[in-house]
């Protein structure tokens, strides 16, 4: 046993045998107190009984403070946009989908109506109510659009399009880039419309689809909004 130990390289034996100085209980308590209080600047004068604390403990404290500050800085920088995570920011934007209106009456679903296909959903709201972009995209139409009246069409990065119809007025122009939540226009009763409402129509590959399940997959629950609306009405 002794023979084997003596044959080990000195460096190895040295590392193994030099005891790590035990971190004193005092240092641990004071360190956590400083970190907990969020103190950044650390001087000997700030310490209680500074004279009785050995320089090595002070160094250890400073190091602990610097390290914890580094960690705090790094944590804070995670949410800040920068060139390096621009792609991550764009990925987050791609996930932002919003309701076009707050507070509406879901009047007419997608499907057959009066012998023909109703190609969108009708969200009834008072004339002049602002409506917003459901998702980031490019405005490809902003103005009179036949039966849709004053309408806005926004094309998204994935190629899908949303038509917002029957506006009393539009607030954007063709070619404009919009973000989810940007105001596009005001609810109205223009074109082939039976009363003030927003006609919301989704096109995928150029064809209209039922917006309700399509939006639901993207976290926009039209049904939830209806339930909320009616429960508020019932409670009032």
Task: Give the x-and-dash track for 198-217 against Zn ion (CB under 5 A).
Answer: -x------------------
User: Alpha helices of the chain — where are they, by DSSP H?
Assistant: 2-7, 10-17, 25-37, 55-77, 86-94, 211-217, 222-235
Q: Which stretch binds Zn ion (CB under 5 A): 26-34, 42-50, 56-64, 192-200?
A: 192-200
DSSP state of 188: B
What are the helix and strand counts (H, E) for the chain?
7, 13
Task: Find the part of the chain contacting Zn ion (CB under 5 A) among 38-46, 112-120, 134-142, 227-235.
Answer: 112-120
Cβ 140 to Zn ion shortest distance, Å: 19
Q: For the segment 116-155, give every residue that binds Zn ion (CB under 5 A).
A: 120, 122
Nearer to Zn ion, 135 or 166 (CB): 166
The helix (H) or strand (E) run that includes residue 113 is strand 111-113
Decide: 131 and 184 in contact? Cβ < 8 Å. Answer: yes
* Separation of CA 96 from chain center: 7
Least distance in Å: CB of 205 to Zn ion?
A: 21
Residue 220: CB minimum distance to Zn ion, A = 18
Report the interface residues with Zn ion, using CB under 5 A.
120, 122, 199
């Amino acid at each position: 046993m002794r023979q084997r130990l003596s044959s080990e390289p000195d460096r190895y034996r040295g590392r193994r045998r030099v005891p790590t100085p035990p971190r004193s209980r005092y240092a641990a308590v004071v360190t956590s107190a400083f970190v907990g209080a969020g103190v950044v600047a650390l001087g000997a004068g700030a310490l209680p009984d500074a004279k009785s604390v050995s320089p090595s403990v002070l160094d250890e404290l400073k190091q602990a403070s610097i390290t914890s500050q580094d960690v705090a800085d790094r944590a804070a920088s995670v949410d800040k946009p920068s060139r390096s995570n621009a792609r991550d920011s764009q990925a987050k934007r791609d996930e932002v989908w919003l309701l076009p209106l707050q507070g509406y009456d879901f009047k007419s679903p997608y499907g057959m109506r009066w012998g023909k296909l109703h190609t969108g959903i009708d969200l009834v709201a008072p004339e002049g109510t602002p409506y917003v972009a459901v998702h980031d995209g490019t405005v490809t139409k902003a103005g009179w659009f036949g039966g849709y009246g004053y309408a806005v069409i926004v094309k998204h990065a994935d190629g899908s399009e949303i038509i917002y119809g029957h506006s009393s007025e539009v607030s954007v122009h063709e070619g404009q880039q919009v973000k989810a939540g940007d105001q596009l226009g005001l609810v109205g009763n223009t074109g082939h419309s039976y009363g003030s409402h927003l006609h919301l129509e989704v096109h995928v590959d150029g064809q209209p689809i039922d917006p309700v399940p399509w939006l639901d997959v993207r976290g926009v629950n039209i049904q939830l909004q209806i339930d909320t609306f009616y429960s508020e009405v019932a409670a009032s």
